[in-house]
Amino acid sequence: MSSSQAEVDIIRTTLRYHQEETTHLEPQVLHNPVTNYADAERLAQEQEVLFRQFPIIVGHVEQVEQPGQFFTHDETGTPILVTRTREGEVKAFVNVCRHRGARIVTDTSGTTSTFSCPYHSWTYDLQGRLRGMRQPFGFDDLDKDQHGLVELPAFERFGLIWVRPSASPMPISIDAWLAPLEEQLAAIDLSAHTVFKAWSVDLNMGWRIALEGFQESYHFCSAHKHTACSAYLDNRSVFVDLYPHVRHAVPLAQVPELVDQPEQDWDYRGNYMDQNYVFPCNFVQVMTDHVYIHTVIPTGPGTCVFKCMMLVPKGRMDEKAQRYWQANYDVVRTVFGEDFQIGEGIQRGLGTGVNQFFTIGKYETGIQLAERAIDDALTGRLVCPEVVSVV
């Protein structure tokens, strides 16, 4: 598989780090106040800004392949209903009835031609328009056009479904937002993948603690000593600042051997794991032959949910393929479990007051870059591009 110029540059950088026995270094050590992890007021602000103004990955296109196929997503605190219309457009709605607020769709996924509220059977079509009411004479001449489902900005990009969990009238341009990642996301062609597994884990740790587990590789050879460590070069990640996103390229152990190959033969994908951070809470983790999409969403002070999809290339899912992907899944669950155990320990220690700051090293770069972008968003310096998207 050929590599992009950006990837050739990453490989060159890795070879240089290896030769010089160094790694990526930010200019400064960051002293991050622990209040950024544990403050209830800050969390409320994060939920209001980060989880309302920016697009979150809620699913894979396969979940709404056909018109009328739908799924729900609740973790952001906004109950979201995603479907595909007869015209082929992906739409998201707040999953709340316009009569007296009942949850309309209670199944997590399925296929339908209309959405009917379980409380009094007000019925909406796939465009979210109010179509039918039982015994409408009790509502005088209620204007149905004013009582359609409330729509949320939803986008189908790079094989994934992105939703901004707020109906605010502020326009949003998904293409401008994802532009820094476009080349890379287009190349992995996630629409040609299928969801092998999807799972959620409720975690007893603040969401920022969970996030940071994917933003450096300094911990691999201690936290994952018996699992991931040997597969990768120790703490030699290359970070590409794609503000506000980050490409975090983790070289596999054999990358130094590429020094003997001509650059045009370099195969990036077969030699790296990318833990791409997509602001504010999404990761596109690209393995050599499959991909994990994860999102980390706060559910309260000191708790969050980790949602993950394992995407594998579409193809014959015979017994052998099934066993192969299952083995990969088992490994990743073990490795993530190691991170989560550490993270929950950090959460338990937060209240001791031992640390006023967490000390983020110069090579714990993904954390430094994300901290800067999150801070920018919370202080109004970073906003989602306000350009109407051409869908």
- Return the one option of Fe ion, ligand FES, none that residue 314 interacts with (CB less than 5 to 8 A, by type): none
User: What 3-state DSSP class applies to 107?
Assistant: coil
- Return the one option of ligand FES, Fe ion, none that residue 337 interacts with (CB less than 5 to 8 A, by type): none
Asked whether position 117 contacts ligand FES by CB under 6 A, the answer is yes
Minimum distance between the CB of residue 310 and Fe ion, rounded to whole angstroms? 16
User: Do 120 and 85 form a contact (C-beta atoms < 8 A)?
Assistant: no
Report d(CA 154, CA 162) in Å as an integer.
6
Q: Which stretch binds Fe ion (CB under 5 A): 10-18, 46-54, 114-122, 339-347?
A: 339-347
Among 16, 86, 100, 225, binds ligand FES (CB under 6 A): 100
Site for Fe ion in 199-228 (CB under 5 A): 213
The candidate with the shortest Cα–Cα distance to 167, out of 80, 59, 58, is 80
User: Do 98 and 147 form a contact (C-beta atoms < 8 A)?
Assistant: yes
Asked whether position 314 contacts ligand FES by CB under 6 A, the answer is no
**Which amino acid belongs to residue 191?**
S
Q: Which is nearer to Fe ion, 162 or 283 (CB)?
A: 283
User: Do 81 and 115 form a contact (C-beta atoms < 8 A)?
Assistant: yes
Q: Which residue has the tokens 């933003």?
A: 215
Residue 129, CA distances (Å) to 110, 164, 240 in order: 19, 20, 44
Site for ligand FES in 80-99 (CB under 6 A): 97, 99
Minimum distance between the CB of residue 101 and ligand FES, rounded to whole angstroms? 6
Per rule CB under 5 A, count of chain residues that contact Fe ion:
2
Report d(CA 277, CA 163) in Å as an integer.
17
How big, in percent rounded to 5, are the helix, strand and coil portions of the chain?
Answer: 35, 30, 35
Per residue, the 3-state secondary structure of 197-231, as one string, reads EEEEEEECCCHHHHHHCCCCCCCHHHHCCCCCHHH
Give the total residue count for the chain: 391
Q: How is residue 39 written in tokens?
A: 């403050």
Q: Which is nearer to Fe ion, 159 or 213 (CB)?
A: 213
Minimum distance between the CB of residue 362 and Fe ion, rounded to whole angstroms? 19
Return all residues near 141 (Cβ < 8 A) that are at least 6 apart: none
Q: Which is nearer to ligand FES, 102 or 187 (CB)?
A: 102
Q: Which is nearer to ligand FES, 56 or 130 (CB)?
A: 130
Asked whether position 105 contacts ligand FES by CB under 6 A, the answer is no
Among 7, 26, 339, 364, binds Fe ion (CB under 5 A): 339
User: Do 51 and 281 form a contact (C-beta atoms < 8 A)?
Assistant: yes
Site for ligand FES in 211-270 (CB under 6 A): none
How many C-beta neighbours within 10 Å does residue 234 have?
Answer: 14
User: Do 29 and 257 form a contact (C-beta atoms < 8 A)?
Assistant: no
Minimum distance between the CB of residue 107 and ligand FES, rounded to whole angstroms? 16
- Return the one option of Fe ion, ligand FES, none that residue 171 interacts with (CB less than 5 to 8 A, by type): none
Report d(CA 390, CA 381) in Å as an integer.
25
Asked whether position 122 contacts ligand FES by CB under 6 A, the answer is yes
Q: Which stretch binds Fe ion (CB under 5 A): 139-147, 199-207, 295-303, 337-345?
A: 337-345
Asked whether position 147 contacts ligand FES by CB under 6 A, the answer is no
Asked whether position 120 contacts ligand FES by CB under 6 A, the answer is yes
Q: Which is nearer to Fe ion, 55 or 343 (CB)?
A: 343
Q: Which is nearer to ligand FES, 118 or 171 (CB)?
A: 118
Q: Which residues of the chain form contacts with ligand FES (CB under 6 A)?
A: 97, 99-102, 117, 119-122
Q: Which residues of the chain form contacts with Fe ion (CB under 5 A)?
A: 213, 339
